[in-house]
Chain A
Amino acid sequence: MDLRPIEDLPSEEERHAIDAVLRPAASAREGGSPEGPEMWAAPGPEGRRDLLLPALRAVQARAGWISRGALGEICRRLGIPPAEAFGVGTFYALLSFEPRPPVMVHVCDDIACRMAGADDLCAEFEARTVPEGGHGTNTGLAWKRSPCLGRCEGAPAILMQRAGDAAGDLSLAPASYRDVEAETSGDGRGPGDEPPVPQAGEPALRLLRRIGRVDPSSLDDYRAHGGYEALRTAVALGPEGVIREVKDSNLLGRGGAAFPTGVKWEAVARQPVRPHYFVCNADESEPGTFKDRILMERDPFALLESLTIAAFATGSEQGFVYVRGEYPLAAERLEAAIELARTRGYLGEDVCGEGFRFDVELRQGAGAYIAGEETALFNSIEGRRAEPRNKPPFPVTHGLFGKPTGINNVETLVNVLEILRIGGQAFARVGTEGSTGTRLFCLSGCVERPGLYEVEFGATLREVLDLAGGIPGGRPLRAVLLGGAAGSFVGPEDLDLPLTFEATRAAGVSLGSGVVMPFDDTVDLEWILLRIARFFRDESCGQCVPCRVGTVRQEELLSRLKAGRAIGSREQELAMLNEIAAAMRDASICGLGQTASGAILSGISRLGLFPAGAAT
């Protein structure tokens, strides 16, 4: 491969940022003295392409945008064609290929934040700084609206991208314009206090047991709270024993697809092809979801221990945790935990002296919901556009780098600690037959005590809402969004629905990522349907036609209904919406397109939104 490089050179600061991710270039061959294209030859076409996104992120963090010179340097060093690297970089919303001020504020205007006043916050930014997306010259700050930042329990939320040496990104919730001023003038409060989870201290908690009690920066404190006992048990059981316990527990995946975890692990373990990889999907981006962020921020060693057990069971020597780019604190704490675990022998060549090798690398996303789709996540790690792959083949045979790969979401993995602590059969005695154990629910929206709740499977929607104090101000409940934007709406008549996999499936809805977002009678639900349509249009990767165009047509159609300007009759519009939805559901490559109409159709059919007469 004879690549034509970009001839522009990086600035000193850009080069330092790149050096921090890629080792400093040693020779002209590797781009050490790139005086002319003839001096250069690619070190290898696919050598370390997986470092592309980390390098792009590093330049973005240092310089606030990615220049031609910086992209050119990264491409020279990694042997990647500039057009491809540009194609990868422009996929991610947190990367910019145009100059912009050092501070970029992403103001969440997704469902929960909008109900908590995001529009007012945006208006304040508009009034005090520059128009949205505008590149403020006097303020050194720009802002734009953002999809869900995963801080719904403290809405409204913002994410500040701060370029420079040490600043780093910062997620704040609740956030005000004053907070941003304080942060930019150097007397901000940083991430701020961390309130206890609402159920803190309750003895029945399994997943949240340590949250708020354990020091997330201390491995010793983690051990003092029972940490790394499960790994000891796992080693005693051996890989087959661990898989047997996980299968006995009947643990189903908590990311949305509800696949049996033990079956997945066993399938990976049996693959003769080596190496095996194990990936933790921490790209939680479903609007309304924040459970994995809290687990990672407050109990990072629990995730590392679970991942180590998963790797041990599946014969994986390398693991990855892929954290969404909007979670700077979770990434920082996990990185510190990985470093500490490595120093103390809980990761590395000989884990705990037990004779097996396992190490973990943290990778951060850069603003792309679709990267949470497992095969898109693999592509993102590999330095490609985060476009989902066609399945089959499935990750258990052809996953990360084309090798057998196990992948689970954070909540699923953390359950494994409890399985090994009490045994798979004992684990399965909690919950229902089809839904064993406990489930984390993310409550936000019109609810008295928003936050993360752990509930035994079998509890009804009413019980979960009551646990969070019900609807504020005694207002009547109008609807609940279950499972996020990819989930569905239910009405007050569904309050006795048990929140289990089997009961929700029978009712034609889904638990998804555990979002429970109630709305009272004052909320403009039609606006929420439109926001969901906008979300899917913005987050479609654009690879396949049904999703790329279908999400656009769906949003256009709802905009017309909302404005009362239907093409033809409302009935014709709804018939067309059903056809758009059917094509997306049946012909899209991945779950994004397949579920992009679910919540919208449920809002129309179950809640009676966009009624006849309102739009003709």
Chain B
Amino acid sequence: MTAVPVGPPRRLIELTVDDRTVRLPEGSTLLQACAAAGVETPTLCYLENLAPVNVCRVCMVEVDGSRVLVPACSRPAEPGMTIHTESARVRLARKVVLEFLASSVDVSLAPQAAGYLERYGAEPGRFGTPAPPAAAGVRGGAAPGEHEASDGLAAATVAQPVSLDNELYVRDYSRCILCYKCVEACGVDAQNTFAIAVAGRGFDARISTEFDVPLPDSACVYCGNCIGVCPTGALMFKSEYDMRQTGTWDEEEQAVTDTICPYCGVGCTLSLHVQGNRIVKVTSPLDNDVTRGHLCIKGRFGWESVQSRDPTGA
């Protein structure tokens, strides 16, 4: 049964998106206004179960009367606004922002990125050959306000070795677009553990524990909610990572089955991703009333016991 939120009735406001008039409740965002107008808006750092941080800047739209473009994900809709989502300014900004991302970060596992890059005709290769990856620990120790001089022929990237410091999940920060979602999920938006935060500054800003200590030495409780919100595959189940390394990961072959977590009385919905009759990862639906997509270590990772009884012994 789905709970129906009952709040005070909200006034409808009217605005224009790409010459179409839309009416929606006061307090809605421009992203919702665009959706109401049937306009699909690219987003990367936005997720419906987290507070918008408006940092990726791919959802920028043009609002008449505004000096600069505005982020659709967080900007409240106001009556009478005129929004343009396909103007030359919007298309150029979205294209170049996508190029910035794809030229500095490995977005090959970000499900939406390829479509966005194609839609805006982005050419991330035009800034030069990607620079070689940093050695382990270099980005984690970068001092704010300085950087090595370069000849500009190689395009700087965040490429670096994968962080493998625990049995449950890996952190591949070569894929991190710094969307802040994992920090939000680890903090007040879900888990309230605060094991990670954004450290450093500028191009060297990164997700880090205190003093960059490995996860087992940090406050991490392995709820995996950071993995659940990561849009680029930078945070990944160890099981998925291992299968990708051996080339056996195949989403086409996976079935997703919803069930209820058996561990406690809360009753979180688990979505079991099953490949070859084995659970390969666990998620929870974002719109689930109980979890809002978030789980704890038991629901997220506590399924090995199921498979250890596998008669094949695999």
Q: Hey, which chain B residues are within 8 Å of A92, CB to CB? A: 144
Q: Hey, which chain A residues are within 8 Å of B149, CB to CB? A: 534, 559
Taking the complex as formed, is A521 at the interface, i.e. its CB lies under 8 A from any CB of chain B?
no
Q: Is the CB of B147 within 8 A of A71?
A: no
Q: Is the CB of A82 within 8 A of B210?
A: yes
Chain A contacts to B: CB under 8 angstroms = 1-4, 6, 68, 71, 81-87, 90-93, 96-98, 133, 144-145, 147, 367-368, 385, 390, 534, 537-546, 548-553, 555-560, 563, 565, 567, 576, 579-580, 582-583, 585-589, 594
Shortest Cβ distance from B226 into chain A, in angstroms?
12
Q: Is the CB of A559 within 8 A of B152?
A: yes
Q: Is the CB of A587 within 8 A of B201?
A: no
Q: Is the CB of A542 within 8 A of B151?
A: no
Q: Hey, which chain A residues are within 8 Å of B4, CB to CB? A: none
Beyond contacts A83-B199, A587-B96: 12 other A-B pairs, Cβ-Cβ < 8 A, are A1-B194, A98-B141, A537-B202, A538-B202, A540-B201, A545-B100, A556-B128, A559-B149, A576-B126, A583-B96, A587-B97, A588-B57
Q: Hey, which chain A residues are within 8 Å of B155, CB to CB? A: 553, 556
Number of A-B pairs whose CB atoms are under 8 Å?
203
User: What is the bound-complex CA distance between A147 and B104, given in angstroms?
Assistant: 25
Taking the complex as formed, is B145 at the interface, i.e. its CB lies under 8 A from any CB of chain A?
yes
Shortest Cβ distance from A594 into chain B, in angstroms?
6
Q: Is the CB of B202 within 8 A of A540?
A: yes
Shortest Cβ distance from A99 into chain B, in angstroms?
13
Q: Is the CB of B100 within 8 A of A68?
A: no
Q: Is the CB of A90 within 8 A of B144?
A: yes
The 10 closest A-B pairs by CB, nearest first: A542-B205, A559-B152, A81-B194, A87-B197, A583-B96, A549-B100, A93-B145, A4-B219, A82-B210, A556-B152
User: What is the bound-complex CA distance between A331 and B287, given in angstroms?
Assistant: 52
Q: Hey, which chain A residues are within 8 Å of B192, CB to CB? A: 1-2
Binds A, one of B66-74, B233-241, B249-257: B66-74
Q: Hey, which chain A residues are within 8 Å of B104, CB to CB? A: 549, 552
Q: Is the CB of A582 within 8 A of B55?
A: no
Interface residues of B in 210-230 (CB under 8 A from A): 210-211, 218-219
Taking the complex as formed, is B185 at the interface, i.e. its CB lies under 8 A from any CB of chain A?
no
Shortest Cβ distance from B18 into chain A, in angstroms?
18
Assuming A85-B210, A557-B152, is B143 touching A93 (CB within 8 A)?
yes
For B202, give its contact among A144, A548, A567 (CB under 8 Å). A548
Assuming A81-B219, A390-B74, A594-B68, is B101 touching A549 (CB within 8 A)?
yes
User: What is the bound-complex CA distance between A540 and B195, given in angstroms?
Assistant: 25
Q: Is the CB of B199 within 8 A of A86?
A: yes
* Contact pattern, B 133-168, Cβ under 8 Å of A = 1, otherwise 0: 000000001011111011111011000000000000
- 28 chain-A/chain-B pairs, Cβ below 8 angstroms: A2-B192, A3-B219, A71-B210, A71-B211, A81-B197, A81-B219, A83-B196, A83-B199, A84-B197, A86-B197, A90-B200, A93-B145, A133-B143, A540-B202, A542-B202, A545-B55, A548-B100, A548-B205, A550-B100, A551-B203, A556-B127, A556-B155, A565-B151, A582-B96, A583-B92, A583-B93, A586-B69, A587-B69
Q: Is the CB of B194 within 8 A of A541?
A: no
User: What is the bound-complex CA distance between A97 and B199, given in angstroms?
Assistant: 12
Q: Is the CB of A3 within 8 A of B151?
A: no
Taking the complex as formed, is B103 at the interface, i.e. its CB lies under 8 A from any CB of chain A?
yes
For B151, give its contact among A546, A549, A559 (CB under 8 Å). A559
Query: Which chain B residue shows the least CB distance to A75?
Result: B210
Q: Hey, which chain A residues are within 8 Å of B92, CB to CB? A: 579, 582-583, 586
Q: Hey, which chain B residues are within 8 Å of A4, CB to CB? A: 195, 218-219
Query: Which chain B residue shows the least CB distance to A553?
Result: B127
Q: Hey, which chain A residues are within 8 Å of B178, CB to CB? A: 542, 545, 548
Q: Is the CB of B197 within 8 A of A83?
A: yes
Q: Hey, which chain B residues are within 8 Å of A552, CB to CB? A: 104, 156, 203
Q: Is the CB of B194 within 8 A of A540?
A: no
Taking the complex as formed, is B204 at the interface, i.e. its CB lies under 8 A from any CB of chain A?
yes
Query: Which chain A residue shows the least CB distance to B142?
Result: A90
Query: Which chain A residue shows the least CB distance to B203?
Result: A552
Most A CB contacts (10 A, CB to CB) among B89, B145, B197, B208 go to B145
User: What is the bound-complex CA distance between A345 and B153, given in angstroms?
Assistant: 62
Query: Which chain A residue shows the least CB distance to B57?
Result: A587
Query: Which chain B residue shows the least CB distance to A550?
Result: B100
For A565, give its contact among B57, B153, B177 (CB under 8 Å). B153
Taking the complex as formed, is B284 at the interface, i.e. its CB lies under 8 A from any CB of chain A?
no
User: What is the bound-complex CA distance between A133 and B147, given in angstroms?
Assistant: 11
Q: Hey, which chain B residues are within 8 Å of A3, CB to CB? A: 194, 219
User: What is the bound-complex CA distance between A549 and B156, given in angstroms?
Assistant: 9
Q: Is the CB of A83 within 8 A of B201?
A: no
Shortest Cβ distance from A197 into chain B, in angstroms?
30
Q: Is the CB of B145 within 8 A of A539?
A: yes
Q: Hey, which chain B residues are within 8 Å of A549, CB to CB? A: 100-101, 103-104, 203
Taking the complex as formed, is B174 at the interface, i.e. its CB lies under 8 A from any CB of chain A?
no
Q: Is the CB of A368 within 8 A of B144?
A: yes
Q: Hey, which chain A residues are within 8 Å of B200, CB to CB? A: 90-91, 542
